[in-house]
Chain A
Amino acid sequence: MLSKENAADVFDRIRRMSAADEVEVIFNSSRFALTRFANNIIHQNVEEENSVVSIRTNFGGRSARATTNQFDDESLRRAVAASESLAKVQANDPDLLPMPTAQEAGGDTRAVKIPARFFEQTASVTPGSRADVVKRMAMVADRHALTTAGIYSISSSGEAIFNSRGLAKWHDQTSAEISITMLGADSSGWQKFNSPDVGNLNPQHLAETAAEKAAQSAHPRELAPGKYTVILEPAAVLDIVGVIFYDFSGVALLDQRSFLNGRVGTKLFGENINISDDVMHPLQSGSPFDGEGMQRQRLQLVENGVIKQIAFARATAKKVLASEFARKVGPVIPTGHGFALPNEVGEMPMNIVFESPENANARGEIQSIDQMISSTERGVYVTRLWYIREVDPYEKITTGMTRDGTFLVENGKIESGIRNFRFNESVISMLSNVESMGVPVRASGEESFDMVVPAMKVNDFNFTEVTKF
């Protein structure tokens, strides 16, 4: 893998090769391993090592990018030439800003440094130890007469950005992840967890929980579609709410493709909904700088249901301030959420943290999933959602399916497994109908990025069809 020193050396070489007014280089270097299992055996087992250098050159108001994963002089020269020739043929863009200086990009201005996200014990996991973990999870499946499928992955990565105005930033990270499905004859259960520290993974617990769900949802009943009270596990919450965060973007507002156009400052969700974006949160992951090297700032996206703040890349903030939206979208400052330039979408918050409202516990609004179930007369308990797609971009109606552990709750107890439902539900309505929620945890799904989210009990969730299993 590329070291910080190697990256600095490569940046110097690239800088000397380029005749551009400004040069920016982004490095991504990773070692990734994934052991995949199905039918209680390992059927795929892979490892890869790759480093990518991405070069942006600026000529006045013209900018373009070229990327390569080869670091010899010839390859780098070719990438520099490609970036320069792509930039030179463009018309001048008056909105393109000079690259940020180190001072403008900011360091860690907060008293608390970023939590440790690189763990040697994660980086050093071997194929043999991954196989041992999988074997123990397969034994859980055998013991319950179930079939298991899933993954155990390990990665270590380095991410850096340098520019010719003196900016140089580096971030190291590791990640360990297990996702496991247990399958019975007519049922299934699922669990997933990841952490920078492999020591936080509990494979046995994940396997046992998935197995319990598979057993409990056996012989599913068919329920009629309709509006139900639902209890959503954190992974199900993050997968459905994930669609809204692309719209907390200044460019999305300028483009008038955001559901927040005309709604910033209004109360859109329930009083109990508070959402921030905070890369420094101890349960979050990722680098503390954005695609231009700007320090990521904490944003209060939603406060007591009111849309408060939007993410702005540097150029977006300038454009919004000069636009009709300047006074309609909350505070307009560069927030450190921009994607690498040039790009079409600008920025978005990707370190989402749902927060418990003040005194929520005292009011009984913080509940465990068991408490949510015991307080439900009739409802549906959902483990996982799947294939979620946006149906209506402004009302944020989404469709998707339940999967891998869907249960009927009656009279405060799980009554039985049920056949999976299709939903068509507005996320705006959903977040206006949250009766109670759990303690926010780090969760990982399949349809959206990882977040810190709670389980939620939501009223009037709209199931429109039922499938055959």
Chain B
Amino acid sequence: MKATAKIALDAASMREVTYADARAVYTKARALTTKNGLVSHASESESLGIAVRVIVDGAWGFAATAELDSAAIRTTAHRAIEIAKASARVKKENVRLASEPPAVAEWTSPYDVDPFSTSVENNLELLLQVDAEIRSNAGVTLAETGMNFQREESWFLSSEGADIHQTKFTTGAGYTAHAFAGSEIQKRSYPNSFGGQWQNCGYELLDEMKLVENARRIGDEAVALHHADQCPEGPRTIILDGSQLGLQIHESIGHPIELDRVLGMEANFAGTSFLTLEKLSKLRYGSELVNVVADARQEHGPGLGTFAYDDEGVAAQSTPIISKGRFSGYLSSRETAHTIGATRSGGTSRAEGWNRLPMIRMTNVSILPGDQPLTLEQLIASTDDGIYMETNKSWSIDDKRYNFQFGCEIAWEIKHGKRTRMLKNPSYSGITTEFWNSMDAICSRDEWVLWGTPNCGKGQPQQVVGTGHGASPARFRNVKVGTAYKGS
């Protein structure tokens, strides 16, 4: 495919074109699901195509095709130029790209076991074993399991001389137990909602997750929720498990720090951001304990936002986002870097596939664990009166990312340092900066997990990509709890 990308780049290298890149992408995926003891879906898919991106007259053009003969590729490159000329008719300034040394590189995400080398029979056997465990409790009315693998290979060439070949494996698996009784549907998911846990790694992730070992407990909890008390309403101390905190980071830190949102480029759909430019290095985003980075580097872990180079050919970086509570950085691209006085892109431009334009996306936006040893059980033991919530059930936030509301699948009341009665339908809400400033404890490295969010949507046409969020359980004071059911 590199030769194909070269044809595209050559076709786009006309005098009027001041910048061009060509990106070919091959994606292979396997998706398996079971439901109540039967295979409910089994599929494999392949997709291959190429995109050409150009700047002409100071404006962008982009065209993509799955037809890979030379004539179709040249037509696509010329179409990108025609589109750029049209864009230039409605511009005020020329696009300015931050400089980037052109990289020549090969990279493959680390993995132990190529997931596509595992047999479908074994994949399904594992899922059906989990399914049987979940349904060992007769109160479970629906058991759903799923497993997903993806291999993405990309070739990126630019008119500046970049020549990058990357291969990335993604593995995800998980399950949900539903229990319907009376006028209530309750559910529990493991190890997370959104299809479970997802990372850029191989089949070894499945072995680490202890799927079978936890299935019976998850089924039991879904049924037990029917007999649990309703989560109370009012200001409370809450402790969030790492997976829920990961989503809290995603929504109330990850999205507002996207510089394209800040600059109004997403105003029609995803929205803008309360983090206007003058707040950089000034805003107290959270308490002193809040340290957040956007880290795409391999050493951060196998997150869904890990890569060697982004889809503009910029090397993976770690950007401090919140340092001891102070807002310290945005996610940026080559086009937007100059607006914050940066001379280099933060390396966060990614595209969903061959047919989509790279745009600023979260990489691995993670909260760093606490310095002092602190397990979840120790955190609970140090809490006199509070509520511990686990696993996301619903999530919503306004289009500037101030006001949020999250629902979790399950909670337990904490009294005098002990986890006591189970609570159903827990929810909490608040204003982003007030919430992060209320964090007074976070567990240490032993409890830190790099969670994967596989379904982050942004852009028009919408692009769904995976993002990573490292988090350990953390405690927040005086949080509004239970509003979701208020007045219902």
Do A and B come together as binding partners?
A: yes
> Which residues on A are within 8 Å of B, measured CB to CB?
32, 34-52, 64-70, 75, 78-79, 82-83, 85-87, 89-91, 93, 126-128, 130-132, 134-135, 138, 147, 149-151, 153, 179-181, 183, 188, 190, 227, 255-257, 261-262, 342-344, 386-395, 397, 399-401, 403-404, 420, 422, 424, 426, 429, 446, 462, 464-469
The digit string for B248-283, where 1 denotes a CB below 8 A from any CB of A, is: 000000000000000111111101101000000000
**Residues of the B chain whose Cβ atoms lie less than 8 Å from the Cβ of A392:** 425, 485, 488
B394 interfacial contact with A, CB 8 Å: yes
Asked whether A69 lies within 8 Å of B488 as measured between CB atoms, the reply is no
For B33, give the chain A residue with the smallest CB separation: A344
Check: B183 CB closer than 8 A to any chain A CB: yes
Task: Answer yes or no: B429 CB below 8 A from chain A CBs.
Answer: yes
Considering only CB atoms, which chain B residue lies closest to A190 in the complex? B268
The 9 lowest CB-CB distance pairs between A and B, nearest first, are: A467-B403, A127-B86, A149-B267, A256-B180, A67-B45, A131-B86, A48-B64, A64-B42, A82-B44
In the bound complex, do residue A138 and residue B65 qualify as a contact, i.e. CB atoms below 8 Å apart? Answer: no
- Judge whether A135 and B62 touch: CB under 8 Å: no
Asked if B40 and A343 make an inter-chain contact with CB atoms under 8 angstroms apart, the answer reads: yes
Instruction: Using known A-B contacts A43-B265, A66-B43, A93-B39, determine if residue A468 contacts B400 with beta carbons closer than 8 Å.
Output: yes
State whether the Cβ of B396 lies closer than 8 Å to any Cβ in chain A.
Answer: yes
Contact (Cβ within 8 A) A227 B487: yes
* Distance between Cα atoms of A147 and B263 in the complex (Å): 12
Contact with A along B325-361 (1 / 0, CB 8 A): 0000000000000000000000000000001110100
Quick one: which of B83, B264, B396, B485 contacts A388, CB cutoff 8 A?
B396
Main secondary structure of the interface of B (DSSP, over half): mixed
Chain A residues with Cβ under 8 A from B40's Cβ?
342-344
- Please tell me which one of the listed residues A45, A67, A149, A188 contacts residue B43 in the complex, with CB atoms under 8 A apart: A67
Chain B residue at smallest Cβ distance from A210: B268
Contacts of B487 in A (CB 8 A): 227, 424, 462, 464
Known pairs A79-B46, A149-B264, A424-B486; list 18 more (Cβ under 8 Å). Answer: A38-B263, A43-B265, A44-B265, A45-B84, A46-B357, A66-B45, A86-B44, A90-B42, A127-B83, A127-B87, A128-B89, A150-B268, A153-B460, A181-B267, A255-B35, A403-B399, A429-B488, A468-B402
Query: Within residues 38 to 92 of chain B, which ones have a CB less than 8 A from any CB in chain A?
Result: 38-49, 51, 59-68, 76, 79-80, 82-87, 89-92
How many chain B residues touch A (CB < 8 A): the figure is 89
Q: Which B474-488 residues sit within 8 Å CB-CB of chain A? A: 483-488
Report the separation of the CA atoms of residues A86 and B180 in the bound assembly, to the nearest whole angstrom: 32
Q: Is A391's CB under 8 angstroms from B264's CB?
A: no
Asked if A78 and B66 make an inter-chain contact with CB atoms under 8 angstroms apart, the answer reads no
The residue in A41, A400, A404 that gathers the most chain B C-beta atoms within 10 A of its C-beta is A41
How many Å from the CB of A171 to the closest CB on chain B?
Answer: 21
Q: Evaluate contact between B486 and A38: CB separation under 8 angstroms.
A: no
CB pair A342–B90 under 8 Å, yes or no, is no
Q: Which of A85, A130, A138, A395 interacts with B86 by CB under 8 Å? A: A130
Given A47-B83, A70-B46, A446-B269, verify A467-B90 contact (CB < 8 Å).
Answer: no
> A465 contacts B483, CB within 8 Å?
yes
Given A34-B460, A67-B44, A462-B487, answer yes or no on A51-B124 (Cβ-Cβ < 8 Å).
no
Considering the complex, give the chain A residue whose CB is closest to the CB of B142.
A255
A contact patch SS: strand
Residue B178 at the A interface, CB < 8 A?
A: yes
Residues of B within 8 A of A83 (CB): 44
The docked-state distance in angstroms from the alpha carbon of A65 to that of B29 is 12
Q: Which of A38, A42, A79 contacts B87 (CB 8 A)?
A: A42
Residues of B within 8 A of A78 (CB): 46
**B90→A41 contact, CB < 8 A:** yes
A255 touches B264 (CB 8 A): no
Contact B86 A464 (CB under 8 A): no
Given A401-B398, A467-B398, the answer on whether A179 and B268 have CB atoms closer than 8 Å is yes
Distance from B214 Cβ to chain A, minimum over Cβ atoms (Å):
21
Q: List 15 A-B contacts (CB under 8 A).
A: A39-B265, A42-B59, A45-B84, A64-B43, A135-B90, A147-B267, A149-B268, A153-B461, A255-B35, A255-B36, A255-B142, A389-B395, A391-B407, A464-B429, A467-B431
- In the complex, the answer to whether B180 meets A464 with C-beta atoms within 8 Å is no
Q: A69-B66, A422-B396 are in contact. Are A47 and B79 (CB under 8 A)?
A: yes
Residues of B within 8 A of A135 (CB): 89-90
Contacts of A44 in B (CB 8 A): 60, 62, 265, 357, 359, 460
CA–CA, A111 and B205, complex, Å: 56
Contact present for B63 and A256 (CB under 8 Å): no
| Across-interface contacts of B200 in A (CB, < 8 A) | none
A residues near B120, Cβ cutoff 8 Å: 85-86, 89
Chain B residues closer than 8 Å to A134, beta-carbon distance: 90
Q: Are A401 and B399 in contact (CB under 8 A)?
A: yes
Residue of B nearest to A384 (CB): B399
Q: Judge if B185 is at the interface, Cβ distance under 8 Å.
A: yes
- Chain A residue numbers with a CB within 8 Å of B121 are 89
The answer to whether A183 touches B89, judged by C-beta atoms less than 8 angstroms apart, is no
Interface core residue of A51, A149, A183 (most chain B CB under 10 Å): A149
Beta-carbon contact of B185 and A257 below 8 Å: yes
Enumerate chain A residues within 8 angstroms of B323, measured Cβ to Cβ: none
Q: CA A387 – CA B407 in complex, angstroms?
A: 14
Q: Is the CB of A422 within 8 A of B405?
A: yes
Q: How far is the CB of A80 from chain B (nearest CB, A)?
A: 11
A66 to B, closest residue via Cβ: B44
Q: How far is the CB of B114 from chain A (nearest CB, A)?
A: 16
| Chain B residue nearest to A68 in the complex (CB) | B46
Task: Say whether B456 faces chain A, with CB atoms less than 8 Å apart.
Answer: no
* Distance of A387 from chain B, by nearest CB (Å): 4
With beta carbons under 8 angstroms apart, the residue of A130, A446, A468 that contacts B403 is A468
- Asked whether B199 is an interface residue with its Cβ less than 8 Å from the other chain, the reply is no
User: Do B394 and A390 touch (CB < 8 A)?
Assistant: yes
For A466, the chain B residues whose CB sits under 8 A away are: 403
Please report the C-alpha to C-alpha distance between residue A257 and residue B140 in the assembled complex, in whole angstroms. Answer: 12
CA distance A128 to B48 in the complex (A): 29
Q: State A34–B92 Cα separation when bound (angstroms).
A: 20
B141 within 8 A of A: yes
| With contact pairs A257-B178, A424-B488, A468-B274 given, residues A387 and B397 touching in the complex (Cβ less than 8 Å) | yes
- Could you give, for residues 160-194 of chain B, a 1 whenever the CB lies within 8 Å of some chain A CB and a 0 otherwise? 00000000000000000010100111000000000
Min CB distance A318 to B, Å, is 15
| B243 part of interface (Cβ distance < 8 Å) | no
Asked if B144 is an interface residue, CB under 8 A from chain A, the answer is yes
B427 close to A (CB within 8 Å)? yes
CB atoms of A399 and B396 under 8 A apart: yes
CA–CA, A48 to B45, complex, Å? Answer: 19
Residue of B nearest to A188 (CB): B267
User: With a CB–CB cut-off of 8 A, which chain A residues contact B89?
Assistant: 42, 128, 131-132, 135
Contact of B66 among A49, A67, A147 (CB under 8 A): A49
Distance A45 CA – B85 CA, assembled complex (angstroms): 10
